[in-house]
Amino acid sequence: MSSALRADGLHTDGLRTDATLTELVVEYTSDPLTLMSRLAGSGLFDDYVVYERPGSWTFAGGTLGEVVLDTETVHAHWPDQPPTSRSWTGRPADALRDTFAEAPLPTWTAYGWLAFEFAASRPAGRLAHLIVPRTEVRAQDGRATITGIDTAETEQVAKLLTDADAPPAGVPSPVDVRVDGDRYRARVAEAVADINAGRYQKVIVSRRLDISYPVDVVSTYVRGRRANTPARSFLLDLRGFQATGFSPEVLASVDAEGRVMTQPLAGTRAFGLGTDADARTRHDLETDPKEIYEHAVSVRTSQDELYRVCDPGTVQVTGFMTVKERGSVQHLGSSVSGVLAPGRTAWDVLDALFPGVTASGIPKPEAIEAITRLEERRGLYSGAVVTVSHNGALDSALVLRALYNEDGRAWLRAGAGIVSASTPDREYEETCEKFSSIAPHVVPLI
């Protein structure tokens, strides 16, 4: 099924609701990572999102419906309806909620991304892009369920899933992460001065690392995923913007029964240096007053945010300051959970928790203002990859440890949480440690 692309980014062909859904269940012998990369690299789909949760993988391919949120306008295209564009004001989460409420589909699940600027007081550029796929593959425990509106396409997908051959992943060309040190240290010093002046308590200051060669994003996903242990992983290509990453934490998860969870991680040390070195850095992480303070204030902020949307009596912290191993780094992690208050929805949770406190700062409004002053536009970095469903469920991964690619240019980005006790040298070193989750695994496009 072909699809044309309008200037505003909306697909104008191939959107139908009268098609009969085809569902196939196949057994597979390849590992799910191979399956997802095979589908992404097949050429069957111009747009797709791969989203991994613990024990399950989803491939969302092609466009059945689409919502694009810009600074002042929300564009939507639903099956059997002409594309619409209308202005919006207020909360961007409400603009998305209202647009999806009009979807003429009995059931739907959307996949896509939110930019960091989704939370800015004066947002600029594209803020969100989500699709309802025409073909969806859910793989778990050796069985894949394929659901689609095009029988031929569904059968092609089934054939790809049962193919025994693994696509080559390419050879990485590691990216040098030890650049831009002086400029980054100067920004950290400026942030510490702001904190000592009482402007805010914490801010995440990041730096961008441009890659000098074209990148094979699918192969980079395969190589990077094999080397990482993420809370969520993702791979996407929407309107030519590609990204892949290994998210260390869940921004927001809401199930159909209204149970809510967020997973703030703050406090970082290197990992993967050998048993003895990892034990030393873990002890340092668990006993460093700066890291403990940074984590505790982040957890407290997440609690306060859930109090706004959950029944206060249900909000609780579990696994406080548990060490989470995430590829090249280890973090202090906690889970904060609750149950939605009456009248609240997953969109309210997203609005309350976005952007993640561990990628913005405390208080959030002041930290976001500082970030817009200290840095260029972030885009997807420290935003979210999200999946949301008609039944009220939502899952979103904080976008960190990721690679971004657009118009033939690829880049990485990493940051560090700055508090009053921060030192520019240590925070620069932390960004290098985080870059090392993906920089050694970048595969050139041949």
Q: Residue 355: is the preceding peptide bond cis (ω within 30°)?
A: yes
**R_g of the chain computed on alpha carbons:** 21
439 burial via Cβ count (<10 Å: 0-12, 13-18, 19+)? buried
- Strand, coil or helix: 215: strand
C-alpha to C-alpha distance for 440 and 175, rounded to whole angstroms = 6
Tell me, letter by letter, the H, E, C secondary structure of 274-322: CHHHHHHHHHHHHHCHHHHHHHHHHHHHHHHHHHCCECHHHCEEEEEEE
66, 117, 153, 249: the active-site residue = 249
**In 3-state terms, the chain is what percent helix, strand and coil (to 5)?**
30, 35, 35
CA distance to 11, 136, 159, 323, 379, per residue, from 218 (Å): 23, 18, 20, 30, 20
Cα angle: 402, vertex 187, 184; to 5 degrees: 50
CA distance to 13, 78, 106, 254, 256, per residue, from 1 (Å): 9, 16, 22, 33, 32
Beta strands in 227-278 (DSSP E): 232-238, 241-247, 250-254, 259-262, 265-270
72 a catalytic residue: no
C-alpha to C-alpha distance for 14 and 8, rounded to whole angstroms = 17
The distance from CA 177 to its chain's CA centroid, rounded to whole angstroms, is 22
CA distance to 271, 279, 325, per residue, from 275 (Å): 9, 6, 13
Task: Yes or no: say if 117 and 125 are a contact pair by the CB < 8 Å rule.
Answer: yes
- Strand, coil or helix: 54: coil
C-alpha to C-alpha distance for 155 and 135, rounded to whole angstroms = 11
Task: Yes or no: say if 26 and 144 are a contact pair by the CB < 8 Å rule.
Answer: yes
- Strand, coil or helix: 339: strand
Residues taking part in catalysis:
249
